[in-house]
Chains A and B, each alone.
Chain A
Amino acid sequence: MASAVDAVGEPIPTSAVLMSASKHIAGSCRGENIAFLKCKKDDPNPEKCLDKGNQVTRCVLSLLKDLHQKCTKEMDAYAGCMYQNTDEFELCRKEQKDFEKACPLN
């Protein structure tokens, strides 16, 4: 359960991984996320926002893959810490700092 990557080495978007990358997601996939939220607000019917949902998922998954390629060690350490401490940022500041140093926020 602690492992953050699947058999082919791609990061599994568990909550620990998503929370670790949340700052990067906020920066890189901002447009997609806002479009999805707007669509949801206009019409909560899941069917109406499927394409926007797919866009967000695609953006985040490619971002995760990218981050995992660029700073594998730091990201695994940070996601591992976030898993160990159930997504408590306060307990993983050291790993967070290392991760952000290796893969700076835009």
Chain B
Amino acid sequence: MGRFQWMEAMLPLGIIAGMLCIAGNVQYTIHKAAHGRPKHIGNDMWDVAMERRDKKIVDEKLYPATN
């Protein structure tokens, strides 16, 4: 009986924990790649309205010819 024999039983738990990390980080990374910034927790109506307005005024300022 080695002193660290319990590590053998921790290994499957470690793999499960690793899979949970992957589940979280993959979605974080994909969302960040798709939107350019991390997902916003608690995105209320104010934030949605601000996002629409931001997009509109930035498009107007940076590409005035297309509007």
A88 at the interface (CB under 8 A from B): yes
Interface size (A, Cβ < 8 Å)?
16
Q: How large is the interface on B (under 10, 10 to 19, 20 to 34, 35 or more residues)?
A: 10 to 19
CA distance A84 to B54 in the complex (A): 13
Contact of A86 among B47, B57, B61 (CB under 8 A): B47
Minimum C-beta distance from A54 to chain B (A): 17
For B54, list chain A residues within 8 Å (CB). 1, 14-16
Task: Give chain B's interface secondary structure class.
Answer: helix
Find chain A residues with CB under 8 A from B53 CB.
Answer: 14-15
Instruction: Decide if A6 touches B40 in the complex (CB within 8 Å).
Output: no
Given A15-B50, A15-B53, does the pair A86, B58 have CB atoms closer than 8 Å?
A: no
What's the minimum C-beta distance from B38 to chain A, rounded to whole angstroms?
7
Q: Can you list 8 A-B contacts with CB-CB less than 8 angstroms, sorted by A residue number?
A: A2-B36, A3-B58, A7-B62, A15-B50, A16-B54, A84-B38, A85-B37, A86-B37
